[in-house]
């Protein structure tokens, strides 16, 4: 399985910088040729290209991505904090299903399926810039900085809770 740990993910920082420029734009500089929608669209394309690149894929439809997600689920599950994040996000989903539908048949199988989806969610546009740093550190050094883990937790579990309770 290929994962480019030397790849520098830039879509998030570029989007943030350009959106900040738009927000701080003075009225006399209002026509700079792009708006927030343009920035979001362009950075969405850049995100998809960068996600494909780290897996050595031609595009986001390439089979290398789901294979890479599955491989990284197994690798990241060996890290206690990331495994805890994956499990907590999975449990949030299971609890929501139980609340809506009652008890789940084949609960263990359903948990495995949801954990795969949750792992994929760590590579969503909202989280990829953080997840990539975690994956790189873990693959290269077998450790992940505590601050980075806290950012991942805050931006994954906390955001996930808000979406499921909205």
pLDDT higher than 50, residue 52? yes
When pLDDT is cut at 50, 70 and 90, the band that residue 166 belongs to is: very low
Confidence of residue 157 (pLDDT cuts 50, 70, 90): confident
Residue 123 CB coordination number (10 Å): 20
- Report which listed range, 31-40, 64-73, 93-102, is most confident: 64-73
| Predicted confidence (pLDDT) per residue in 12-34, tens digit | 999 999 988 888 876 655 666 78
Provide the percentage of residues in the chain whose pLDDT is more than 90: 69
Q: What is the pLDDT of residue 138?
A: 97
Return the SS3 of 68: helix
| CA distances to 11, 41, 52, 87, 164 from 96, in Å | 32, 32, 31, 14, 8
The Cα-based distances of 14 to 31, 61, 99, 125 in angstroms read 19, 24, 40, 13
């Amino acid at each position: 399985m290929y994962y480019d740990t030397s790849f520098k993910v830039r879509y998030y920082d570029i989007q943030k910088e350009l959106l900040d420029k738009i927000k701080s734009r003075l009225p006399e500089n209002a026509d700079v040729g792009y708006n927030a929608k343009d920035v979001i669209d362009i950075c969405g394309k850049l995100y998809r290209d960068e996600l494909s690149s780290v897996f050595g894929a031609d595009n986001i439809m390439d089979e290398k991505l789901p294979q890479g997600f599955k491989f990284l689920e197994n690798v990241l599950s060996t890290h206690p904090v990331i495994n805890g994040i994956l499990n907590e996000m999975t449990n949030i989903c299971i609890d929501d299903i139980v609340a809506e539908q009652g008890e789940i048949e084949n609960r263990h199988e359903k948990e495995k399926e949801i954990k795969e989806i949750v792992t994929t969610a760590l590579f969503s546009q909202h989280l990829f810039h953080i997840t990539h740093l975690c994956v790189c550190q873990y693959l290269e050094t077998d450790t992940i900085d505590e601050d980075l883990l806290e950012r991942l937790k805050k931006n994954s579990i906390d955001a996930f809770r808000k979406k499921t309770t909205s």
